[in-house]
Amino acid sequence: MGDEHPSPETELMRRISADIARLLSRPLEPGLYIVATPIGNLADITLRALAVLATVDEVFCEDTRHSRGLFSHFGIDARLLAYHDHNGARLRPRIIELLGDGRSIALISDAGTPLISDPGYKLVRECVAAGFNIFSIPGPSAALGALVCAGLPTDCFMFAGFLPVRGAQRRARLAELSAIPATLVFYEAPSRLFESLTDMATVLGPRPAAVVRELTKLHETVLRDSLDVLADSFAGPPPRGEIAVVVGPPIEVPVPDEAIVAALDRALATQSLRDATKVVAELLGVPKSRVYDLGLEKKRDSE
């Protein structure tokens, strides 16, 4: 007598096959499909992404040679057309025309989620303005992948993309970001990693950080330490692969009462307690109520 109960693996394959068959059988609505693709491990692609890429009328990608490997791996026979920063202005009217004819079009980047430090924003903006449907097919993202494995706060974060190449401009940009009360996520080229980490340590201070390299690939590594220590660890030959740097939010240093009282002494020489309280609170980043209470206490002591 045969086994009446299939193995978990067999049942999983059956369900996957049923789901992909169901997705492939559904006609796609006309519109632009923003499809996330793997950043390294091809198994990370979603069933819905595969179904969309297999059934859309056109697929636009950054590099047809790069994307052809993904399509070949999954046996998808699709016409790949290049869309990138250099030809976008010329192709966008053509894509708008295709959408106007009721076509379904997919946009993919070389890896990850399109528009996240990749071309596509201008196309989406024009499609929205023209009234066409925009469908998000979510999936892999290097920025989010790095964030969740860095071990840093995730309740509030900012993706800051690539920093400027030149040192002075890079430090100026870091200074702009220094006060943001959030975890920062950057992409960086291996050849600039040491210089960028050094500038981060100089401008942002010894914040906790993580360097995430080759995410989802064979040689994936995550190094966690303070920015200054991480900078020293990459002082030698540059590493290889795709790199993301995740930096913790500003480190809050308590302001002692003595510093507040000293600032109040200077302000009270020319201002009322009320005005001095406001100035000192803004200067030191502390609550006005705390400054005012210290001012009253000082006044009572002097009387």
Residue 183's DSSP bridge partners are 157
Low-confidence ranges of the chain (pLDDT < 70): 1-4, 303
Residue 20's DSSP bridge partners are none
Find all residues with CB under 8 Å of 57, minimum gap 6, and list them: 98, 103, 104, 105
pLDDT at 1: 47
Label the pairing between strands 243-247 and 208-213.
Answer: antiparallel
pTM: 0.82
- Residue 285 CA to residue 93 CA, distance in Å, equals 51
In the numeric block, which tokens belong to residue 238? 């540059």
pLDDT at 302: 75
User: For 226-258, how does the pLDDT look when each residue is reduced to its tens digit (9 = 90+)?
Assistant: 999 999 999 999 999 999 999 999 987 788 889
Contact 211, 243 (CB under 8 A): yes
Instruction: Give the residue from 108, 106, 60 showing the smallest Cα distance to 82.
Output: 60
Q: What is the DSSP letter of 112?
A: B
- Residue 277 CA to residue 282 CA, distance in Å, equals 9
User: For 143-192, how does the pLDDT look when each residue is reduced to its tens digit (9 = 90+)?
Assistant: 999 999 999 999 999 999 999 999 999 999 999 999 999 999 999 999 99
pLDDT at 3: 56
- Tell me which H or E stretch contains 208: strand 208-213
Give the distance, in angstroms, between the CA of residue 109 and the centroid of all CA atoms in the same chain. Answer: 15
Give the distance, in angstroms, between the CA of residue 271 and the centroid of all CA atoms in the same chain. Answer: 46
- Residue 250 CA to residue 268 CA, distance in Å, equals 30
